[in-house]
Structure 1
Amino acid sequence: MTLSDPVSKTGIETVLSVEGLRLDLLGSPGQPGLVDDVSFEVRAGETVALIGESGCGKSITALAILGLLPAVVAVSAGTVLIAGEKTTGAKARRLAALRGSSVGTVFQDPMSSLNPTMTIGAQIAESRQLHLKESRKVATEKAIELLELVGIPNPRSRAAAYPFELSGGMQQRALIAAAVACEPQLLIADEPTTALDVTVQAEILELLKSIQERNGMGVLLVTHDLGVVAGVADRVVVMYAGETVEQAQTEDLFASPAHPYTRALLSSVPQTGKRLKPLPIVPGRVPPAGAFPQGCRFQDRCSYMVPSLCLDGTIPVAQVHPHHESRCLRIDEVVRSERTP
């Protein structure tokens, strides 16, 4: 189930559609439904945040969208469309053509993403040569322009530098320049600021926003940082143990979470002006692959769990109100308790 056509900032087309995606972990111990019944959309000009604790399935979902799953994980159901083109089941050559042209990617560790044997300029130019068929000279000049666009000083000299000669912040900026070199319609940013200090983090997020406004691309932001989500996301998709458990506009989700997991996440964020008050925590941990429980996957950590309701069967996604969904059988109680002083 997906949200019912939320209106984006631009009001134009969907650049990413994930519908009923299911991934199976093969081998032993295996896990059917490692990711199960995942559905969401990203529209042109909007930022959708995919959030949850480590181990909830965010990054493996992003890899499935890109067609970069490891050999031990397979798509067993569902569809992914990028810019209207179905990519689930597509040939490797076609997927390679889409990566860089229709969809760009920024990962959290630029040093593992950038090629240490190539100059920064050559790595950015390579994408334009491959996808746009530009000459090396033209692509190199464009790479210098892109380095200037992302705020790297002395872009011409930096284009001739190798990754190890740049600071972490400049490496991430260079990686962003490479990701948007061909003006993709979709950008997937997987924890793009985790390894950076707070000041550089803010600069990188502002940079992504300015490029988005310039190019009108959709952004899927994979993160666990709720502060980042509140500042940049238009909509939020919450994942837990491989399932999407809540989706809503950002303001609605922060104001009135409708799933116990979302509520627990928001409650555990430190609040200003509350000295000497113990910080709430989410008890327990995300169940590992191979040990997902029957029924609600959050049952062992949930204060709203009722054995007769939550321990068996499939928990469906329910509509809270237009553009707000929750995978919970006790939505009314969760929302009511959130409003209780």
Structure 2
Amino acid sequence: MAISTEKKQEIFEQIRAFNNKKFSRKITIAEQYYFVEDDVAEDCSNFVKFLVEQKKVNFSKSNVVDMAFGSGNLTSHIVLDNISDFSKITFNDKNKEANTKLFEKFDTGKAELTQFDFLNKSEWNYKSTFDIAILNPLIGGGLENHKVDFKDKDPIISNKTIKDYLGLDKSFSVKQIDDESKILITAEGKKVGEAKESLKNIEIFNYYDVFAKTDKSKEWGSHTDNVKFRQTLNKILKPKGTIIFFGEEKYFNSLFADFNTVFEYSQEGSKKIFIASKNGSKKTIIKYKKEKGKFIIDDGKTDDVEQVDINITDIESSIGEALNKISDIKISETS
């Protein structure tokens, strides 16, 4: 049963009142904590509506989770304006500053509040998974009890093993620890500097953190927030599910590099909204902008990105062979 227009307006009014509360004499709660304002939420919602109308996406009867909902403005507009038959919305946020009263405005069974850490997969004990996961993470700003430290470096996504990808010889052994999303590489008979040179400073491979050691050294490497987040996402999102991400492009690229169908809309400023899934056979990024109130493909083009495994060692070897061939060429003088 669809939520009535009156109920929708009641929900939006609750969010508006929450966002407009004074944090101090000069700023509101929304300004202090970077919560999404009405005009931004409505613009993002209109982009989703456009994709639905163009049959680019189908969100009918979706089970939705907002992994860090803040005020709830973004998700409430996206879902209530575009998915009349949604199954349920789970509003999750670890932060005590979030709009925890919002879910009470929904009809029984249509919304719930959780306060899980999206960097800790063990807290998310669900029998069913979600069709849509929405994320608008706070990278900076005023929240104190749950900041995240996402790396903005693109991860390596490959169909090869890390050993084949790097072209490592038999002196390197690899152990994959799935529960921790960790890869441990051991270099036998090598110095730390030699091992690091062979590993090319890779930190994240297929959303596994890369650790390494020699047979005589301690491990080096770190458990990144990127991989912790992906552990949770992989646990709760259906294999063909959709991610809706609102934030900076560099963080989208670092968190969702393996999502191969992407619809992107650039608003003013550095933030964009991305609707992405793994439903394509190749990586396709369709970029949109708004012109005269209408969404159009940016510059009239679509980016089809060929997914190619790049082996750094092979490239270096090929360059070396080419240079050797050049040095062997004899140039004769002619008169």
TM-score in terms of structure 1 length: 0.31
TM-score in terms of structure 2 length: 0.31
More helix by share: 1
